[in-house]
């Protein structure tokens, strides 16, 4: 019972943090039209497309996907643009207001679920993804449970996909970095892919007015300045 209460307290904390953040002034730094955000989106898309093609394959039409902490559904819409079938996609969220935004923006047929991942069926997905979700979970036990739930929902032979932070943000105590050794401990898969990407946001914002070649070259030549990673691991058949 104590563990359940601790898990609920962590979920309540996360929901409270995001309710206070979404719609606030801080969102202006992530506006879709900002040059640094445009660059970040392009880089994420390139890495994501390459990783997906080399793991789940280039035909996404039959891939069953669960996106954990799906927000307003951006990742699922990207998959649809690349050929995924809406009826094969599901998004989970702790905040109903995020799903209220996701539904009208997305194709009909996507399954939306407000609540914990633990209620979803075992071995029901070919791909389970989490984008800047694990870093939002501070409690180590709750992180472990989230990872276990993702692995449980994944079919044998399926892939987990994680996009998240490599470093702590000293200005944001509500998130904690995700280390490679954590990921390997969570999921004992036999195939992994890991790539760092994106200039740290303060650096990217400072260089936003310069030609894109400058930021791309710096990101390529100075790996320690890359603040995020993308990771995929396959569950053994």
Which pLDDT tens digit goes with each residue over 214-232?
888 998 999 999 999 999 9
The answer to whether 195 touches 47, Cβ cutoff 8 Å, is yes
Residue 36 lies in a domain: no
Residue 208 lies in a domain: no
Which pLDDT tens digit goes with each residue over 12-57?
655 665 555 555 556 677 788 888 788 889 999 999 999 999 999 9
Rounded to two decimals, what is the model's pTM?
Answer: 0.88
Name the residue range of residue 157's domain.
Answer: 2-31+60-196+224-234
Residue 47 lies in a domain: no
Residue 170 lies in a domain: yes
Beta-sheet pairing, 89-93 with 191-199: unpaired
Query: What is the Cβ-side half-sphere exposure of residue 194, based on CA atoms within 13 angstroms?
Result: 14
Residue 44 lies in a domain: no
Q: Token digits for 43? A: 């880089």
Tally of structural domains, the chain: 1
Residue 178 lies in a domain: yes
Q: Give the CATH number of the domain where residue 27 resides.
A: 3.40.50.150
SS3 157: strand
Bridge partners for 113 per DSSP: 92
Residue 75 lies in a domain: yes
């Amino acid at each position: 019972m104590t563990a359940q209460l601790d898990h609920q307290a962590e979920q309540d904390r996360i929901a409270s943090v995001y309710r206070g953040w979404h719609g606030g002034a801080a969102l202006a730094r992530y506006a879709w039209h900002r040059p640094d955000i445009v660059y970040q989106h392009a880089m994420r898309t390139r890495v994501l497309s390459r990783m997906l093609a080399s793991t789940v394959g280039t035909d996404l039409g039959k891939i069953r996907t669960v996106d954990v902490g799906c927000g307003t559904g951006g990742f699922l819409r990207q998959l649809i643009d690349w050929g995924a079938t809406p009826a094969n996609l599901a998004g989970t969220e702790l905040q109903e207001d995020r799903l209220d935004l996701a539904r009208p923006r997305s194709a009909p047929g996507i399954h939306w679920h407000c609540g914990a991942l633990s209620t979803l069926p075992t071995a029901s997905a070919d791909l389970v993804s989490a984008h800047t979700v694990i870093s939002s979970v501070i409690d180590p036990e709750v992180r472990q449970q989230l990872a276990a739930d993702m692995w449980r929902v994944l079919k044998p032979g399926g892939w987990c996909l994680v996009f998240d932070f490599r470093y702590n943000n000293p200005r944001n105590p509500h998130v904690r970095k995700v280390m490679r050794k954590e990921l390997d401990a969570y999921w004992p898969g036999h195939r992994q892919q890991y790539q760092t990407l994106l200039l740290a946001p303060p650096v990217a914002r400072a260089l936003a007015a310069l030609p894109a070649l400058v930021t791309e070259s710096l990101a390529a030549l100075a790996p320690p300045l890359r603040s995020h990673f993308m990771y995929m691991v396959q569950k053994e058949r």
